[in-house]
Structure 1
Amino acid sequence: MFSAPHEIAFGDVFLPPLLLVIAIAYACALLTARGLAGIGLHRVIAAPALFELSLTAIYTVLIGTFIIPS
């Protein structure tokens, strides 16, 4: 049976698991965008901010789907 993950405690601060997934996804999106800029593909991106936001959303869904809750 699938159980929803609960809050993650850092001392007295409780964080929702989705917040950590979004932070990891944003870091992955930044690395991907910098990698694409490093090889020169940043010239074909019309809206860099929208590109970064969409990469963050894609990575959030992928990470949230494939991480098995404990």
Structure 2
Amino acid sequence: MQRVPHDISIGSFYLSPILVIALFGVIAALLTARLLDRYRLSRYFANPPVVIISLSMIYAIIIGRVFLGI
């Protein structure tokens, strides 16, 4: 039987675990994009916004697998 993640309670608000994982994925992608900009590596990408979206999805999948086992 799989472990089903429960809602996360912050104060009186209940958040879905997927929403929290997606938020952490976006934050990690923005930090990575900032590092890429700082070291001028983002100029090698044809479409940097698509790279940020892709990184946020990759980070969300990794965070979901590691912390929740989804």
TM-score in same-fold range (> 0.5): yes
What are the within-5 Å matches in structure 2 for residues 40-51 of structure 1?
Answer: 40-51=40-51
- 2:7 counterpart of 1:10: no
C-alpha offsets along residues 26-68 of structure 1, whole Å, 9 cap, x if unaligned?
0000000110111110110111110000000000100000114
Q: Which amino acid aligns with 2:19?
A: L
* 8 Å CA contact retained: 2:5, 2:68: no
* 8 Å CA contact retained: 2:7, 2:14: yes
Task: Give the number of equivalent residue pairs.
Answer: 69
Give the whole-Å Cα distance in 1 for the aligned partners of 2:40 and 2:58. Answer: 22
Q: Which runs of 5+ in 2 are unaligned?
A: none
- In the superposition, the TM-score normalised over structure 2's length comes to 0.89
SS of residue paired to 1:67: helix
Q: Which runs of 5+ in 1 are unaligned?
A: none
SS of residue paired to 1:14: strand
Identity of aligned residues (%): 36
Deviation of 1:11 after TM superposition, in Å, equals 2.4
Give the whole-Å Cα distance in 2 for the aligned partners of 1:19 and 1:67. Answer: 14
User: For the aligned residues, what is the CA RMSD?
Assistant: 1.3
Give the whole-Å Cα distance in 2 for the aligned partners of 1:54 and 1:67. Answer: 20
